[in-house]
Amino acid sequence: MSNAPFGFSVEEVRTWASQLAAESRAPFYFSEYYVCPREILQVERLLDDTRAAVVGIVGVQGVGKTSALQVLRRRCLDKTDGRADPPDLSKKVALFKWRRRTVLFESLLNGTHELSEEFRERYAWYLLQELRRGLPRVLDLPQSAVGLDVAEAEEALGKSVALGLREMAWLQVLLCRSVILIDMPDYSKSDRRLMTSDLNEIYWFWDRLAAHNIAPNVVIAVQKEMFRDHFFFDKMHKIELKPLKPEQMVEAYERRFGTLNPFTAEALAALARMSRGVFRRYLRYISMAIEHWEGQPTRSESIEASLVKEVFRSNA
């Protein structure tokens, strides 16, 4: 197989196909190679026209909900409202994985949350102001929140006060956004309790935000198999992320590599049809086909549709 001018190789395809989760892809991937479904453009238009709305992007497991949120974030950040000198748009859109209250503040404080840095700065400032009001003579307070020992400050103020300040800081971090994108986890189809618990918390979270005049829009990626029997769903604008068409899946491959190699067009189209529009499944099938092709005693120049069918007959 001949390489493309920019250094294409089978190993490059293998690496790409092994990245089943959107989080493992570099940010530029979504602006350069992603085939954007029209449903994402529909969400974007909705966000332009509403305030304090909650939008549910609904899709089956593996269809690309996390990727859709990544693209939506990029498209929101690209907006400048026609101004020559726009504000820092990076702080206007937040994208994060959902954490339950039992682990939320721990992740914000230990640096594992997507918004940890901003939260810790704001929380330290709130702690310092509270200490200055209530205990100005007990502690040797720093001049700024940068030098504050958070653990020592929390101990001095007490758990109840510290928790109230944590919630206040978290709320303020979110209220300065225009759009909040929440990536919910996939759940077991046989147990809805975790999802119900999470939705109850997200509703509480959204209700507090919506009470403010500057409330942001909230977009939630929701597993389609679980999208039923919860009162919060009735408050959402539901937009279903439909499985990709085979031609879109082939286009995604060609965008990424500038070629269909080592596949023929018929072979990639066959893999796309077998994947039934689920991109994660498409990537797995590409990996399987390459592995089978490379294991042939006499390898053909390209992966053809007949070899693809052979792979799936042997794995049926």
Residue 24 in this model has a pLDDT that exceeds 80: no
> Among 6-20, 54-68, 72-86, 159-173, whose mean pLDDT is lowest?
72-86
CB of 175 closer than 8 Å to CB of 214: yes
Both structure tokens of 139:
């502690």
pTM: 0.79
Q: Quick one: CA torsion of 276, 44, 32, 250, rounded to 10 degrees?
A: 20
Name the pLDDT band for 83 (thresholds 50, 70, 90): very low
Both structure tokens of 33:
């190679």
> Among 7-11, 51-55, 175-179, whose mean pLDDT is lowest?
7-11
Q: Could you tell me which of 184, 285, 280, 292 has the C-alpha nearest to residue 236?
A: 184
Per-residue pLDDT at 192:
79
Residues of the chain with CATH 3.40.50: 29-240
Residues of the chain with CATH 1.10.8: 10-24+244-314
Per-residue pLDDT at 120:
94
Residue 1 in this model has a pLDDT that exceeds 70: no
Topology of the domain comprising 10-24+244-314: Helicase, Ruva Protein; domain 3 (1.10.8)
Which CATH architecture does the domain made up of 29-240 adopt? 3-Layer(aba) Sandwich (3.40)
